[in-house]
Amino acid sequence: MQRRALLEAARDLVAEGGVAALTFPALAKATGLARSSVYEYFKSRADVIEALVAHEFPAWIGEVRAAMAAETTAERQLAAYVRRQLGLVSEPGHRALLALSGQELDGDARDRIRAAHGWLLDLGIGVLRALGHPEPRLAASLVQGTVDAAAKRISLGADPAEVTETAVSMVLFGGLGSARRHTQALNAQAGQTRPQPGGSTRRRTASAT
């Protein structure tokens, strides 16, 4: 229980202040333990980071896998792959993993992060292969790049719903398709009509006059 409490405190410290905030005095203060007691569970900050990665990454990947499994088509599974990851950005565990992934870590922590990213990529590869993509591994890497960029935007304060739906549209329809869908949504909200002289309205046309 004490070790779990230390890991939860470590996760919150990294999520809020980055790796620099993860110190043994801060862990002791957050858990109400003496600093010497913290050393009974972890010998160094690197040990804490390794344990945190081992604890948080499987749970994160499990969340994404479960969200995908709940969908009935490959296209919906791909959308779930994007949405669930971005839905986790606001949670402390995911924010901590984002902070850790951006660090130059050594040893087992680095290897665990690399392995976890590989497992995550395998989920994307599988669904893209099911969709018949000719280069599923390359495409999965590009999809994950979109997710990572969107996650960073959300972590910097952008509107999560807007960023998420834009990322999903980018992944499913590409940049041009995403822009067209956005325009269609705006047109639908405006009723796709415009006022004309004399109070009448005329439906917009695609061609210029």
What is the distance between the alpha carbons of residues 198 and 159, in angstroms, rounded to a whole number?
40
Identify the residue with better confidence: 91 or 4.
4
Percent of the chain with pLDDT over 90: 36
φ, ψ for residue 203, nearest 5 deg: -70, 140
3-class DSSP state of 202: strand
Buried b (16+ CB within 10 A) or exposed e, 70-80: eeeebeebbbb
pLDDT at 207: 40
What is the distance between the alpha carbons of residues 72 and 101, in angstroms, rounded to a whole number?
31
pLDDT digits (tens, 9 = 90+) for 84-110: 999 988 776 666 766 666 555 566 667
Buried b (16+ CB within 10 A) or exposed e, 12-47: bbbbeebbeebbbebbbeebebeeeebeebbeeeee
Residue 29 is inside which H or E element, if any?
helix 24-31
Average pLDDT over residues 71-92: 90
Give 155-192 as a 3 state SS string. HCCCCHHHHHHHHHHHHHHHHHHHHHHHHHHHHHHCCC
| pTM given for the model | 0.69
CB atoms within 10 A of CB 185: 12
Average pLDDT over residues 48-68: 86
- Domains of the chain, earliest start first: 45-185 (1.10.357.10)
Length of the chain: 209
The secondary structure of residue 150, as a DSSP letter, is H
Identify the residue with better confidence: 194 or 204.
194
Q: Is the CB of residue 132 less than 8 Å from the CB of residue 95? A: no
pLDDT at 171: 93
- Using alpha carbons only, what angle is made at residue 170 by residues 164 and 174, rounded to the nearest 5 degrees? 170
